Structure 1
Amino acid sequence: MSHVNDKVSSLTDLTGDLAGTYPRTASSGAAVDEDVVRTDLAAVERDGYVILPDLLSSAELDAIRADVTPLLDRTGRNNFEGHTTQRVYSVLNKTRTCDVIADHPRVLALLDRLFLPNYLLSMLQVINILPGEQAQLLHTDDSFYPIPRPRAPLGAATIWAIDDFTAENGATDVVPGSHTWDDRVPDESVRREPVVMSAGSCVFFVGTLWHGGGANRSDAPRLALTAQYCEPWLRPQEAFTLSTTRDTVRAVSEDIRRMLGYSIHPPFIGQVDGMHPKRLLEPGAPPV
């Protein structure tokens, strides 16, 4: 990393952005109206989730559906993935049409307030629940980080409706308020509330919220996308710096590039050979 200052007199000097050539970039979430963000955040703090309606246009939905449908060639390998659910991983290498959900400003505005700067993308995935699929086991998305509850969330997720989400076709079930629980585990008496929303909408929830995919009792599939995020000092679920090609990283937005790990968490977490990882994208950089 190229340093702005050539002297470090204390550990306090290492807590800021030390990069000279590639300083921290602003999030596009900064453009979202503060009143809107305040309302969204209040719902998240109260319930653990918020529905953000009608964020994608019909043209964006059509483009996503056209690009991901040919990729739906396999079903899940276990009860958690769903034996009657199709999933697509490594989405960024396969289409650009899904980028719009990974870096949507309305979502980033919430992440900007929940996590430290340079938070990371942890997972980007297509999920298509087919007719006959059973309800998924209720779970929390950041439970694999071994820090006792109750605690602040270490991650957050969005699930985007590409098809309408209904109570019959596998809408995601949530347990409102469960983000504040300690080590309690939901039992059969817990109320699962389906997230009913129109295509183009998304549900945003923190990683401590209990939730799960709903049963699809309809006669049609339910297509969705999910993007998950985590604090910048944690290991993401998907190793994007390994799974995403340099050409893909060059093609995505600055927000996504930063969230893939081409960023530094102060003082130097994420460095490559002592340098900012963006140097790997420069002409003449070593190949992947």
Structure 2
Amino acid sequence: DEILEKQASARTAAEREYGIDSDHLDSLISTVQEEGYVILPNLLSPEEIETIRREADPLLEHDGRTEFEGYKTRRIYSVIEKTLSCNPVVEHPLVMALLDRLFMPNYLLSQLQVIKVMPGEIRQPLHHDDGFYPLPRPRKPIGAALIWALDDFREDNGATLVYPKSHLWGDVPSADIDVSKMVPAVMPAGSAVFFLGTMWHCAGPNNSDKPRLAATTQYCEPWARQQENYCLAISRERAKQCSPKVQSLLGYSMLFPFIGFVNGRDPARLLRD
């Protein structure tokens, strides 16, 4: 199959470019496929975390509007239009290498948020991130996501709760899930938990006396619709300031030969004209 051959070739080239050990990737992918998630320690430097914090803090002004957003949780949407500080998170080499193994070429960024969970926030409703695609389970994931710890993630401050192996389930009402069997993704600042879009999870309650800062990057197959409408949320001038990889993830790319073209051509040309 030509598409699979191209995908394998791109994957090998990317792993070589990133300097990432193929055996290590194999181990991470095996864990993800078995458990539904894996914790990736110490991906961000203290300097990268501080840059995101400095840029994000003035924008984290408003509490959430719904139970899902969290009435004591603050979020930044359209992040790249407002700050470029999260771009290294979006295109982190290890994350790209993992996604190269899971999805078709030119997969997309589905959404990016910076999230500040305030003290007293309750547990978020259970969900899986590609549950809005109306396709029955069990099935292959259409997306994958990361929650990035910009503060230490502890059980008391609401570390993300994951349900191991739940990515293998069929259609299950969230009310039937035993929350006591969920596992907190405890990890130091700079780490991330990577999980499949079919895995059940939620933000834990923040029972501490300090906020917990996080970011989330979510990705999807190149044939699936993104959650954020980046052609409207991110201006073309802003997209021109991003790397070619981030541009591709935003949607200035195609699933060849026909998905995503503009005037019959690759939309990446729009940023060069």
CA contact (8 A) 1:28 1:255 kept: no
The ranges of structure 1 where at least 4 consecutive aligned residues each deviate by more than 4 angstroms after the TM superposition are 12-17, 24-30
What is the CA–CA distance in structure 2 between the aligned matches of 1:277 and 1:14, rounded to whole Å? Answer: 20
Q: Which residue of 1 aligns with 2:228?
A: 238
Go from structure 1 to structure 2 and tell me whether the alpha carbon gap of 1:158 and 1:137 turns closer, same or farther (over 3 Å shift). same
User: Aligned pairs, how many?
Assistant: 266
The match for 1:189 among 178, 192, 195 is 178
What is the CA–CA distance in structure 1 between the aligned matches of 2:52 and 2:272, rounded to whole Å? Answer: 30
Q: Which residue of 2 aligns with 1:158?
A: 146
Question: Is 1:61 paired with 2:49?
Answer: yes
The Cα shift of 1:26 comes to 9.0
Secondary structure in structure 1 of the residue aligned to 2:27:
helix
Gaps of 5+ in 1: 1-11, 18-23, 284-288
TM-score by length of 1: 0.88
CA contact (8 A) 1:16 1:267 kept: no
Matching of residues 165-184 of structure 1 within 5 Å: 165-184=153-172
The Cα shift of 1:94 comes to 1.2
Go from structure 1 to structure 2 and tell me whether the alpha carbon gap of 1:92 and 1:26 turns closer, same or farther (over 3 Å shift). farther
Go from structure 1 to structure 2 and tell me whether the alpha carbon gap of 1:100 and 1:146 turns closer, same or farther (over 3 Å shift). same
Question: Is 1:76 paired with 2:64?
Answer: yes
What is the CA–CA distance in structure 2 between the aligned matches of 1:25 and 1:57, rounded to whole Å? Answer: 26
The Cα shift of 1:28 comes to 4.7
Go from structure 1 to structure 2 and tell me whether the alpha carbon gap of 1:272 and 1:65 turns closer, same or farther (over 3 Å shift). same
The match for 2:130 among 142, 148, 157 is 142
Point out the structure with max Rg over C-alpha.
1
Q: Structure 1 residues 219-228 or 251-260, which shifts more?
A: 251-260
Go from structure 1 to structure 2 and tell me whether the alpha carbon gap of 1:102 and 1:274 turns closer, same or farther (over 3 Å shift). same
Q: Which residue of 1 aligns with 2:32?
A: 44
CA contact (8 A) 1:263 1:277 kept: yes
Gaps of 5+ in 2: none
Question: Is 1:106 paired with 2:94?
Answer: yes
Q: Structure 1 residues 184-193 or 270-279, which shifts more?
A: 184-193
CA contact (8 A) 2:11 2:101 kept: no
The Cα shift of 1:27 comes to 7.4
Point out the structure with the larger helix share. Answer: 2
Report Cα offsets for 1:13-45 as digits up to 9, x if no partner.
Answer: 99998xxxxxx9997555221112111111101
Letter in 2 for 1:193: V
Secondary structure in structure 2 of the residue aligned to 1:237:
coil
Question: Is 1:219 paired with 2:209?
Answer: yes
The Cα shift of 1:282 comes to 2.4
- The percentage of counterpart residues that share the same residue type is 51
Secondary structure in structure 2 of the residue aligned to 1:264:
coil
Report Cα offsets for 1:100-141 as digits up to 9, x if no partner.
Answer: 110001111111011000000000001110000000011000
Go from structure 1 to structure 2 and tell me whether the alpha carbon gap of 1:89 and 1:28 turns closer, same or farther (over 3 Å shift). farther
